A and B are shown apart, each in its own frame.
Chain A
């Protein structure tokens, strides 16, 4: 995980927050995904304006977990979003 990279939506991604859940559609494959509360928060933070590290720090503060836990959970989730081509990691 490059912690200085800035996660930003992949060009194929369509999304809306409905009732606190991010509904994400991968337009190229037609896959639909609905995220839970934590996932939705990560998604909102992936707007290209902050680094992966800043996202992990925000989550640690908001969800009262240790910084280590937040880093490992964030890395795992961001990587799964990258694999699904829902986000891209822009170099700083």
Chain B
């Protein structure tokens, strides 16, 4: 026996990346995103969920005991990363019971919340969970903008208080925003606010139709000019002009090492691609993970399987999402309209910066949009 090389070495990021890559290649479950409830104490205008009031009864949600069983199954399959999200996680009275149970099983926890229910006492209990991060949604740098989206009075004050309460207790926080028509011009102020709150800043430009097909969230999308402005300020030309996609490679990590669980025990590949896999009340997680044919079908969605995208001149400037394509355009293999718009805006920003030539091609199906 020798502990040489077995010393506790904080430099093993490389080994960790190798393990991650292996879980992806071998379709081994390593990460789970779990929507614990669709009840929520906010009413965000852009939300893709058909949320219920926080106080609603939701008898179809997995019970505490059923959730514990799912936690056991996730641990048995080797999952390390577990995200709890909603709705609003604190709308579940048994949230801490579940999270504490999961921590006792040594999951690395991430919590997604709007923060408004985080009191000093709850912040204490969160800190005791040692989550990897608590990710809190903020939609404006000012109360007015934020509450225009959340449709809940005082939510800005309560949400920003949550950052402070957690930070005082040493909990890592992420300030997460979705850039929209309403807040796109507050980008710098949002970043500054995240900084002042001691949180990591993260933003997304994706707004999706509702899971029930409703398209109301799409009216909040940033205008094309705002997208170009954002990309001008944020894109690193050195990265984007060198980016290439291999035709035989998947365009995202779908169906590799992660899945989504909804409050009723339904399993899906990810948040956006709600292709049904099965239900945990009817079948074990292991069976659903190993036997469903859906995983293989999705993992085969390489660029060359996407009839329009594979020929698209902008595909190296595109962060395409199969799930979005399915929701917006009805087909996993189709171009996703909003991904197309973003790719076009990236092209324009890079052309304006001189990083791409003026005549960098625009695919035929986007010629009309590019003329406005």
A contact set with B: CB distance below 8 Å: 9, 11-19, 21, 23, 25, 27-28, 30-39, 42, 59-60, 62-65, 69-70, 73-74, 76-77, 80-81, 83-84, 86
Q: Give 1 or 0 for each of B283-310: 1 = CB within 8 Å of chain A CB.
A: 0000000000000000000000000000
A77 touches B3 (CB 8 A): yes
Q: Give 1 or 0 for each of B1-38: 1 = CB within 8 Å of chain A CB.
A: 11101111110110110010011000010100000000
A72 to chain B, nearest CB (A): 9
The reply on B223 being an interface residue by CB < 8 A is no
Residue numbers in B under 8 Å from A9 (CB-CB)? 106
| A60 to B3 CA separation, bound complex (whole angstroms) | 12
B130 touches A64 (CB 8 A): no
B19 touches A23 (CB 8 A): yes
Residue numbers in A under 8 Å from B15 (CB-CB)? 21, 34
B contact set with A: CB distance below 8 Å: 1-3, 5-10, 12-13, 15-16, 19, 22-23, 28, 30, 78-80, 103, 106-109, 128, 130-132, 170, 172
B256 to chain A, nearest CB (A): 15
Residue numbers in B under 8 Å from A30 (CB-CB)? 132, 172
Residue numbers in A under 8 Å from B80 (CB-CB)? 14-16, 18, 23, 25
B16 touches A32 (CB 8 A): yes
Residue numbers in A under 8 Å from B130 (CB-CB)? 11-12, 27-28
A-B contact count (CB 8 A): 98
Residue numbers in B under 8 Å from A19 (CB-CB)? 19, 22
Give me 16 other A-B pairs in contact (C-beta within 8 A), A19-B22, A25-B108 excluded. Answer: A11-B103, A11-B130, A12-B130, A14-B108, A17-B78, A18-B22, A18-B78, A23-B16, A34-B19, A35-B6, A35-B8, A59-B1, A62-B1, A74-B3, A84-B8, A84-B10
- Whether A69 contacts B16 in the complex (CB less than 8 A), given A14-B80, A27-B132, A80-B7, comes out as no
B1 touches A65 (CB 8 A): yes
Residue numbers in A under 8 Å from B30 (CB-CB)? 18
| A18 to B170 CA separation, bound complex (whole angstroms) | 29
